[in-house]
Amino acid sequence: MIKANDPSLVSWVDVEKGSDFPIQNLPLGVFKNDQLNPRVGMRIGDFVIDMKSLHVLGYLDNLPFSAEAFDSNSLNLLMKKGKLACRRLRNRISDLLEKENNELQNNEHHVNQVLIPIEQVEMVMPVEIGDYTDFYSSREHATNVGTMFRDPNNALLPNWLWIPVGYHGRSSSVIISDQDIHRPKGQTKPNDNEPPVYGPSRMIDFELEMAFITFDGKPLGESISTEEAEDYIFGMVLFNDWSARDIQKWEYVPLGPFLAKNFASSISAWVVSLDALIPFQVDTPQQDPEVLSYLKFEGKKSYDIHLQVGITPDGSEEKVVCDSNFKYMYWNMAQQLTHHTVNGCNVRGGDLLGSGTISGPTPDSYGSMLELAWKGTKPIQMPDGTERKFILDGDTVTMRGYCENDKVRIGFGEVKTKLLPAK
């Protein structure tokens, strides 16, 4: 077992019961405030650990990280050191924060320098994302969409059960939680018998996803096996891959989504290491037909991550519209990364790979409004008396995620975005 995962560990830092961020988590992110430029932080309870200050004070001397890795506006320099170095860093911080370790906790002056209350910081994009790939890996979601728009008896396209289907997205419009977005504009075709029209999308939807961030991969021309794949995964974030359904319907043939998807994708601020999620590994759903040899894997490669989506109308209270779980995904992350590189495509540190919409087997676990309101035929009632078929201007969409067993809870916090009117 990785030392920092020990469920019996307790920190001298006060961590509220049920917190997403106990000593067993220790996710990384980038923060700033009025006194500090953007720099790397680690989360414990309701505090951010200033990793630059911790390094300057000499607490990280035996680790292979320079000051520049922490005095940075992204995690990219830190990720350059690879998985084992990042594991050592998390283990070291775990040791420093453990209640029996007096090395830091008895130096009040140092504690005041390195522990900053979360309400005193602003989180910024944790990673400089080079490339972004979005998969389509939920069988339930793909079946629902195929049932709505194609033949219910042949909902899945012929390739779906054979390959982790994906497409390349737009990294420049990936944004951090709490950044508002505007309703996008584009072409739609409301009437099949009339020409298309230009204007604001009328069908803005969320897509409940998780995403993983990579370490540097192999050189161009080489591929990553399913056995190796998790060594190249830095960590995970919550991911809301916004979608304009009416724009998408008109534009996606023959080359797939374009304007319908590239206007915004929102991620959570804290990157939870794959190491921290090991206690929550579960079996991947049975794959039938048997996958081709390069996609075969051994062991538990899926993760039991509880997921929730809420919609808050402007001036009203939140309505939880979805309760789902990452474990439902038909294709796991190892298979996704392996398939991505099987042709020799190289991934780089900071690349973002989205899971695709996560839908479960029951209607309350569907991961998009398209499914939850079933293409507008089953509107969802809001606490203020209004109803939703898709997301309206002024609505805030909040996604949350956490793993939990009888010993520990590891959470991702939330990704929250408000939709503003079209410009």
Which residues does the annotation mark as catalytic?
Answer: 141
- Distance separating alpha carbons of residues 315 and 47, to the nearest angstrom: 29
Looking up tokens 């953007």, which residue turns up? 38
Opening angle at CA 98, ends 81 and 87, nearest 5? 15
Question: Is beta strand 181-182 parallel, antiparallel or unpaired with respect to 409-420?
Answer: parallel
Locus of tokens 């650990």? 49
Tokens 């020990």 correspond to: 6
What would the 3-class secondary structure string for the chain be? CCHHHCCCCCECCCCCCCCCCCCCCCCEEEEECCCCCCEEEEEECCEEEEHHHHHHCCCCCCCCCCHHHHCCCCCHHHHCCHHHHHHHHHHHHHHHHECCCHHHHCCHHHHHHHEEEHHHCEEECCCCCCCEEEECCCHHHHHHHHHHHCCHHHCCCCCCCCCCCEEECCHHHEEECCCCEECCEEEECCCCCCCCEEEECCCEECEEEEEEEECCCCCCCCCCCCCCHHHHEEEEEEEECCEEHHHHHHHCCCCCCCCCCCCCEEECCCEEECHHHHHHEECCCCCCCCCCHHHCCCCCCEECCEEEEEEECCCCCCEEEEEEEHHHCCCCHHHHHHHHHCCCCCCCCCCEEECCCCCCCCHHHCCEHHHHCCCCCCCEECCCCCEECCCCCCCEEEEEEEEECCCCEEEEEEEEEEEECCC
Contact 248, 205 (CB under 8 A): no
Q: Largest Cα–Cα distance in the chain?
A: 75
Strands 243-244 and 204-205: antiparallel
